[in-house]
Structure 1
Amino acid sequence: MNKLLKITWYACLALLAGCIEPYDPKVDNREINLLVVDGFINTSGVTTIKLSRAQTLTTKGGPPPETRAVVFIEEEGGRRYPLTEGAAGTYASAPLQLTPGRPVRLHLTTAGRREYASDYSRALVTPPIDSISFRAGEGKLRLYVNTHDALDQARHFRWSYEETWEFTSRFESQLMYRNNALVPRTDNIYRCWGSELPSTIVLGNTLRLSRNVVAEQPLTVLLDTSPKLFIKYSVLVRQYAVTPEEYAYWELLRKNTEQLGTLFDPLPSQLTGNVRSLSDPAEQVLGWVGAQSMTEQRRFIDRNDLPAGWPLVSGYEGCPLDTIPKPKVFPEPTLEEIIRSFSFGMMVPISYNLTADEYYYSTVDCLDCRKRGNNARPSFWR
């Protein structure tokens, strides 16, 4: 994929004015169908590794998984720990407690009998996260992570995070269509929880500091127009201590994925991971498999934690509230016709107004929160 990006960049440069027509160069299939190894060796827990194949930027759908591989973790001169395949291309170990400082690596053999292994990596101990802080102002909510290593063993860090937020649909439906009738609603389509696992690469180091302390490392930014802050928002931050070599790999990957876009951006650099083909030394493999423990911390942010006057944005602002029958429309529909109008699923009844003898309704996208999330309350929610 890097070669494809480079070729496209050079084509744009030659045109000076930018890419007017898309340029689709011929690329060797061997440079597209690269093995991609995604994951790390968790020295204090379950290791999850995803294997897939690279694809071109224009290919639709997700990357094809590499299935039926034999995968295991091996200690240098020691034991082997197998990983078993669950979902296609996803391999997981049993919970492990590996010896800190001992070199370990990932070893795998594909169904096509091609053998690969990562370089041996010294198992690192990741210090705990001290706190997750935030500041709200100027239309933005900025989140930060704070940590320190009292043992002074790790100077390079990587973070990932998972977001969850509570929300409600525009109106609460009290009726539902079932068996050619409108009956009281028994399921919850009003209150849901959304979730997102951003692919943002967050890195930090303390090389230039006298103390091994990370203070307010920027994590993410939410605008005050974000529906994630409508009721309650939660972020789960995961922290990893990494070696200088792994840090350099992630930094290069971050630049390639986040800073490419104009003629004046740097050329995409060739990514060199630490996974090698033992069957063919000339074969390129994408991915870096480090070895470290992982620490995590969750932070909740409630509406009451935000400044007074913070916008109340649900994402349902354009949703209409309508009635059947409509005022001054004749002839009025019969009850049978009203009920039948809800049988198609696009209109959802809300309630019945006895005084006006009319039904309130709206669209399914405005009433069924499951269109944007899950109505099962997360076990960690409070």
Structure 2
Amino acid sequence: MQMRIRSLTSILCLCLLLFGCVEPYAPDVLQAPNQYLVVDGFINGTGVTTIKLSRTQNIADTKAPLLESGATLLLEEEQGEQYVMSEVDLGTYASDSLRLNLDKKYRIYIRTENGREYASEFVAIKRTPPIDGVGWDVVNEGLQIYVNTHDPQNDTRYYRWEYEATWAFTAAYEALYKYDPATGTVVLRGPEDEQTYRCWRTDYSTAIEIGTSTRLSEDVIFEEPILLLPSNSEKLRIKYSILVKQYALTREAYQYWESLKKNTESIGTLFDPLPSQLTGNVRNLSDAEEPVIGYVSASTMQDKRIFISREELPREWRPLQPYCQLDSVLPAPPDETFGDLARYFESGFYVPVNEIYGSSPFPIGYFGAALSCVDCRFRGTTRRPLFWQ
């Protein structure tokens, strides 16, 4: 027994020594004031080319990335035309809708506001094959959305996808009434009042979705996962739509996106791949040693949209519904402090929702809720998308 106690004591002391020796390590590079240029975007052979410029930041920096505004961007054809790109949003630059010569090579030229010049390598425009279909399956985790495609010429092999997801939703309550400050009473909402109960919202993909068919004899991508939605997602409560965009990549571009995916999504355990140096194709024209983050590829784009209605999904699924607390508001004489309608509703931040009835056929008060509970525009727009079915 004493031997066992001594053994346990020795193990405990060893553990304390091991943990006591662990000190946090913060390498100097994390605190370095480097702000390298980040170039995000691709050359669209049959549409609008959009490039976003920003700066790198330290891992410990909690501020939003610094956007690079005031730059001059050109879309240049090798030994040919130049197309000016305008700043359409802070740090975001776009060309007109163009139909480029698919047999030519193109690059992006950048001159920052401080006069530094950068350019991507001239690259050929890859022809992207059409999307065969976008589908979905019910899986244990929820709703799995996937894409199918193929290239009969066996010439693509490397693919990247993005998506735009749009869904319909409602506020927690539909306000049937409004407060009239002129009369100090609650009245029915009329046709002239904008409806604020039903809205739409759109989100954009943030994860890196890439795939390759290099290990197959044919250039086929089958049921490549694009997005997984949990069964209780509010996005599935009414109707959900996703537009999947597909781009063909060169082997070099695929390797860049693969490294970026590993560096940003797969770090966290001892068994994850180690971070690797990102080798892009954008260079400082006067200082080749300056690191620049980004790979500008060129391709055409293919897309396909699907809709998923609540009726198509398993009945046992329970998508989340918005919830807000209702309070009862009773009218009272102005000289009383409890139940004064004006006290609750005149600011506009609290809205009458419905009537409260007692034993008589006339309402004795109103249910009220915060404006955010009845106005879906806090999270979306009441403007119905043109593509909505």
TM over 0.5: yes
Q: Equivalent residue for 2:121? A: 119
Q: Equivalent residue for 2:99? A: 97
Native 8 Å contact 2:232 2:317 kept in 1: no
Note the residue ranges of structure 2 that are not aligned, 5 or more in a row. 1-17
Specify the SS of the correspondent of 1:245. helix
Is 1:184 aligned to 2:191, yes or no?
no
Task: Flag the structure with larger Rg.
Answer: 2
1:26 positional shift: 5.7
Distance 1:366 1:285, change over 3 A: same
Distance 1:172 1:296, change over 3 A: same
Q: Equivalent residue for 1:323? A: 328
Q: Equivalent residue for 1:37? A: 39
Q: Equivalent residue for 2:256? A: 249
Listed one character per residue, the Cα deviations across residues 245-291 of structure 1 (whole Å, up to 9, x for unaligned) are 00000011111111112344332211111101111111000111000
Native 8 Å contact 1:101 1:124 kept in 2: no
Distance 1:66 1:149, change over 3 A: same
Q: Take 1:26 and 1:101, find their aligned partners in 2: how far apart are those partners?
A: 43
Structure 1 counterpart of 2:303, one-letter code: E
Q: Equivalent residue for 1:218? A: 225
* Number of aligned residues: 359
Structure 2 counterpart of 1:341, one-letter code: Y
State the TM-score, normalized to the length of structure 1: 0.87
Q: Which stretch of the first structure deviates more once superposed, 250-259 or 193-202?
A: 193-202
Is 1:347 aligned to 2:354, yes or no?
no
Q: Equivalent residue for 1:270? A: 277
Q: Take 1:109 and 1:18, find their aligned partners in 2: how far apart are those partners?
A: 50
Q: Equivalent residue for 1:7? A: none
Specify the SS of the correspondent of 2:255. helix
Distance 1:36 1:26, change over 3 A: closer
Is 1:358 aligned to 2:362, yes or no?
no
Distance 1:62 1:252, change over 3 A: same
Distance 1:62 1:155, change over 3 A: same
Native 8 Å contact 1:236 1:296 kept in 2: yes
Q: Equivalent residue for 1:9? A: none
Listed one character per residue, the Cα deviations across residues 2-46 of structure 1 (whole Å, up to 9, x for unaligned) are xxxxxxxxxxxxx9799876847365756x210111110001111
Q: Equivalent residue for 2:234? A: 227
Structure 1 counterpart of 2:268, one-letter code: G
Is 1:338 aligned to 2:341, yes or no?
yes
Q: Equivalent residue for 2:13? A: none
Native 8 Å contact 1:349 1:360 kept in 2: yes
Q: Which stretch of the first structure deviates more once superposed, 356-365 or 227-236?
A: 356-365
Specify the SS of the correspondent of 1:95. strand
1:296 positional shift: 0.9
- Which of residues 79, 85, 88 in structure 2 aligns to 1:86? 88
Q: Equivalent residue for 2:169? A: 167
Q: Equivalent residue for 1:58? A: 60
Distance 1:23 1:348, change over 3 A: farther
1:88 positional shift: 2.0
Native 8 Å contact 2:169 2:198 kept in 1: yes
Q: Equivalent residue for 1:285? A: 292
Q: Take 1:332 and 1:65, find their aligned partners in 2: how far apart are those partners?
A: 51
- Which of residues 197, 212, 215 in structure 2 aligns to 1:208? 215
Specify the SS of the correspondent of 1:381. coil
Native 8 Å contact 1:160 1:202 kept in 2: yes
Structure 2 counterpart of 1:234, one-letter code: S
Structure 2 counterpart of 1:338, one-letter code: L
Native 8 Å contact 2:135 2:147 kept in 1: yes
Q: Take 2:181 and 2:92, find their aligned partners in 1: how far apart are those partners?
A: 42
Structure 1 counterpart of 2:354, one-letter code: S
Q: Which stretch of the first structure deviates more once superposed, 201-210 or 361-370?
A: 361-370
Q: Equivalent residue for 2:385? A: 378
**Percent identity between the two aligned chains:** 43
Q: Take 2:79 and 2:27, find their aligned partners in 1: how far apart are those partners?
A: 48
Q: Take 1:28 and 1:274, find their aligned partners in 2: how far apart are those partners?
A: 26
- Which of residues 142, 151, 156 in structure 1 aligns to 2:153? 151
Q: Take 1:346 and 1:261, find their aligned partners in 2: how far apart are those partners?
A: 44
1:345 positional shift: 4.0
1:177 positional shift: 3.2
Native 8 Å contact 1:233 1:302 kept in 2: yes
Distance 1:139 1:286, change over 3 A: closer
Distance 1:210 1:26, change over 3 A: closer
Native 8 Å contact 2:31 2:58 kept in 1: no
RMSD: 2.4
Specify the SS of the correspondent of 2:96. coil
Specify the SS of the correspondent of 1:374. coil
